[in-house]
Structure 1
Amino acid sequence: MKYKIILLMFFFVAISSCKKEDRTKILYLGHSLPQSHPVHKGILEFQKALANKSGGTLKIKVFPDAQLGSEREVLELLQIGSVAATKVSAATLSNFVPEYHILGIPYLFRDQKHRFEVLEGSIGKSILEKGSKFWLRGLCYYDAGSRSFYTSNKPIRTPEDLNGLKIRVMNNQMAINMVNAMGGSATPLAYGELYTAIQQGVVDGAENNPPSFVSSNHYEISKYYTLDQHSAVPDVLLIGTKFWDKLSEEEKVWVQEAADESAQAQKKFWSDSVEESMRIAKEAGVEVIIPEKSLFAEKSKSVLEDFIKKYPDMEETVNQIKNK
């Protein structure tokens, strides 16, 4: 933590000491993922595209591996202007910007094609803009695939198989409600503690996408992976409004175009990563189960109903997505 404070102090000094005639602007971007992750590779495309479009006058300095703090900590740094940009899960962002809760509704998207049509269309862009009033402007979405259940000792073939099982979830109310509605016992737990928790039987399993399942080495101790694909919560590339508002109109265009181009490149990185992750898991002896997803969708209907009761003003948006 002391290192982070010193580093941030350096940022302030560096920014304040820039000469007016120096046209170069540095965007500090921090995130919590490893450098091998497909989202980090997408961020590097953002970095490259922006440097090219701006002729080197806008540069991005990337700090991966949670060097600047957790997702929530970096979001707070964006809000006060200490860091320019970050990548966070829409689930984490929903604690700051309520509209992002919509993207976590189980089985909201019919398939991947439908998901991208929504995220890259007017609905998705509208949600990105909602964060500006909280000093967090969304630039684009990065593919984070679909989340599915994995367990250590008992396969999940139907929702009834979740009964009595402790399933680790993010500290997100919608994820908690979803697992509980399906019959499991949702157990919020820090991601870094999950391997040991599964190994020691503190939890029976968890839910995540294939690249995370493999990169975390959870496939070593969880031999059942059920591709129920209950949610598809995207990642979001953000820029703090305190930095955004200092950009010229031309610079804003460069940033947005670079972000959009990086999102398209990241899709391919993600697809390749999913394919490789599934290969590794299967070769390690993981049983991959393809269940009847409609059974899980039926069980989770109450999550949407409860959401609409809590956020009635968002029902129209949800219906627009379902009818798209």
Structure 2
Amino acid sequence: MKKILSIGITVSLLVMLLMGCSSDTGETAGSKGADDVVTLRLAHNLNEQHTVHLALAEFGRLIGEKSEGNMKVEIYPNAQLGSEEQVLEQLQVGGIAMTKVSAAALTPYADGYNAFTLPYVFADEDHFFTSMESDAVKELYQDTHDKGFIGLTYYTSGARSFYTVDKPILHPSDLRGVKIRVMGFQSQTDMMQALGGTPVGMPYGDVYTSLQSRVIDGAESNETALTNGKHGEVAKHFSYDEHTMIPDIVVISSKVWDSLTAEQKAILQEAAVESTEYHKPLWNEAIAEAVKEAKKDMGVTFHEVDKGPFREAVASMLDEYGKKYPEVKSLLDSFKALE
């Protein structure tokens, strides 16, 4: 009897957690009762100090304000409801309303997202912002509706550069024979090979010890990896080649989205865009603080780089991916026109 009771309680808890969108009266998200409050559950895998979490909290606050209390967002940080992949799967069936996911992780769902994993797609940060706020990206957001979700907005995660243990990477030739940890996407492997380096795929959590033991000679990410991941304790050179700018995307379940009224959808879209603007200065502050800490407390040297030779070495990649994925070519052409 105790075993049956335990199972029943567990199932009940799971149902309560996984209901992505509900109202205080137990009706659906699109209900029109005067006393209904639509509750949207948002889950992600970052801590509560991360700039993206702070932006998502502002997103939730804005939704409550704009809806005059008729909508609210409950946020579950720190992977409380699962990993990024697990949360996205729950979102697709309507179990969770919203989440934040790297654009690179969306490549299996829409070919166009491959564009964001390619090197030197954006000329600089301003070009990145202009491109991400273009009609072409808004159309891309809708391409995954039949896959169970759509995009609402983006948050910058900065530019990714190389950081290494004992020498800077100032030219592609500096990568010859150098083992660099890359994310597990084909485009990252292709990029490293085009630059002459040796790509090594491994979980992010293994990077620190792998740098220590020289299983790898370096990695690539933004400046916060030096401090948040403590990689600056081992890797003493950060080279600003800025090869990729891969945004985070805020997505919402198609089932939840379709259940909302036109007014509710407008509130979400307005709040999403405003949260993106809220996030930009937070990110700049986090980068400035990471650089200051890495220099002062870790002894990391930051190197400016002539990006020209790097761009030339990987230029053919954009053509190759454009031929393979028509959606990528369309986006790249659109971004190019915005330079």
Fold match by TM threshold 0.5: yes
Q: Find the aligned partners of 1:12 and 1:152 in 2 and give their Cα distance.
A: 44
Q: 1:163 to 1:8 in 2, by over 3 A?
A: farther
1:287 matched to 2:301? The reply is yes
1:181 matched to 2:181? The reply is no
Q: Secondary structure of the residue that 1:203 maps to in structure 2? A: coil
Q: Find the aligned partners of 1:208 and 1:304 in 2 and give their Cα distance.
A: 20
1:259 matched to 2:259? The reply is no
- The 8 Å contact of residues 19 and 95 in structure 2, kept in 1 or not, is answered as no
Letter in 2 for 1:306: E
Q: How does 1:1-324 map to 2 (within 5 A)?
A: 8-12=14-18, 15=22, 18-20=25-27, 21=33, 22-283=35-296, 284-324=298-338
Letter in 1 for 2:76: F
Q: Comparing 310-319 with 59-68, which one deviates more in the overlay?
A: 310-319
- Paired residues in the alignment total 323
Q: Secondary structure of the residue that 2:78 maps to in structure 1? A: coil
Q: Find the aligned partners of 2:147 and 2:315 in 1 and give their Cα distance.
A: 30
Structure 2 unpaired stretches of 5+ = 1-6, 28-32
- The 8 Å contact of residues 148 and 226 in structure 1, kept in 2 or not, is answered as yes
Letter in 2 for 1:312: P
Q: Find the aligned partners of 1:37 and 1:16 in 2 and give their Cα distance.
A: 29
Q: 1:253 to 1:181 in 2, by over 3 A?
A: same
- The 8 Å contact of residues 8 and 82 in structure 1, kept in 2 or not, is answered as no
Fraction of identical pairs, as percent:
38
How does the TM-score come out when normalised to structure 1? Answer: 0.94
Q: Comparing 134-143 with 8-17, which one deviates more in the overlay?
A: 8-17
Q: CA deviation at 1:7?
A: 5.2
How does the TM-score come out when normalised to structure 2? Answer: 0.90
Q: 1:167 to 1:5 in 2, by over 3 A?
A: farther
Q: Comparing 56-65 with 6-15, which one deviates more in the overlay?
A: 6-15
Q: Find the aligned partners of 1:17 and 1:256 in 2 and give their Cα distance.
A: 23
Q: Comparing 39-48 with 308-317, which one deviates more in the overlay?
A: 308-317
- The 8 Å contact of residues 151 and 251 in structure 2, kept in 1 or not, is answered as yes
Letter in 2 for 1:192: G
Letter in 1 for 2:113: Y
Q: Find the aligned partners of 1:290 and 1:138 in 2 and give their Cα distance.
A: 34
Letter in 2 for 1:258: A
Q: CA deviation at 1:177?
A: 1.0
Q: Find the aligned partners of 2:247 and 2:12 in 1 and give their Cα distance.
A: 32
Q: Quick check: which has more Rg, 1 or 2?
A: 2
Q: 1:321 to 1:12 in 2, by over 3 A?
A: closer
Letter in 2 for 1:180: Q
Q: 1:7 to 1:206 in 2, by over 3 A?
A: farther
Q: Comparing 8-17 with 307-316, which one deviates more in the overlay?
A: 8-17
Letter in 2 for 1:228: D
Q: CA deviation at 1:53?
A: 0.8
Q: Find the aligned partners of 1:190 and 1:86 in 2 and give their Cα distance.
A: 21
Superposed CA RMSD in Å reads 2.1
Q: 1:69 to 1:12 in 2, by over 3 A?
A: closer
Q: CA deviation at 1:6?
A: 7.3
Q: 1:140 to 1:169 in 2, by over 3 A?
A: same
Q: Comparing 141-150 with 205-214, which one deviates more in the overlay?
A: 205-214
> Which residue in 1 is equivalent to 2:3?
none
